[in-house]
Amino acid sequence: MVVELGRLLEAGSTGMGETVIVLERRHGQRPGAVDGLTLPLTAEQRTSMRGRRTTLCGREVLLQLPRQGPLVPGDLLSDRQDSNLVRVMAAEERLLEVRAESPLKLLQAAYHLGNRHVALDLQPDRLLLLDDPVLAAMLVGRGLHVRPCKQAFQPEGGAYEGHHH
C-alpha cells in the first residue's frame, strides 16, 4: 500500500480522479505574468518548501520546491513543464496589533519581543505578531494597546535571512 501511494504521489494523482499539481519550480516575482491559481500561505508555510497545500479555489498542490529561502507573496510557482502557474499570497492569520503612546514605547515593545525571538511585522506606528495570550498580557502590562486582528502576516526576515553557508 505504501509503495502504491508513493507511485500515485509521483504521478501527481490523488487516487480520487483529480490530479494533484506538483510544484517544482520557483520563478520569483514576474509582474504582468498570466495568473493561474492562487495559493494562500501563512508566514510559517512560506518557509516550508515541501508538503501539500490547497489553493483558494480548493485545488490541491504538492510543493517540492528547491530550498532558496522563504517564498514571498507574489512569487510564481509552476510544475516541471510550466503548464500550471500558481501565485503565492500571504494568507490571513490571527494576529495581535500593538500600538503605543509614543514611538519609544513601541520600540521598547519590539525590543522585548525580539529578545524572546518573536516574529514581528514592523510598521511605522504598530507591531503585528501572531496571536499569543501570554505575550498579549505582557504587552498590556507594559502599558501598550493590544487588540486582536486578522490579516496577512509578513514578519521581518531577520539579520541573516539572505545569508547562506
CATH entry 2.60.260.20 includes domain 2-90: yes
pLDDT band at 67 (very low <50, low <70, confident <90, very high): confident
| Beta pairing class for 37-41 and 85-90 | parallel
Q: In sequence order, which residues have a C-beta less than 8 Å from that of residue 142 and are 6 or more positions away?
A: 105, 108, 109, 112
Q: What is the pLDDT of residues 42-52, one digit of tens each?
A: 999 999 999 99
Asked whether the predicted pLDDT for residue 160 surpasses 60, the reply is no
Superfamily of domain 92-152 in the CATH hierarchy: UreE, C-terminal domain (3.30.70.790)
Asked whether the predicted pLDDT for residue 38 surpasses 70, the reply is yes
Say which range, 1-5, 11-15, 117-121, has the weakest mean pLDDT.
1-5
Contact 85, 34 (CB under 8 A): yes
Question: Per-domain residue ranges for the chain?
Answer: 2-90, 92-152
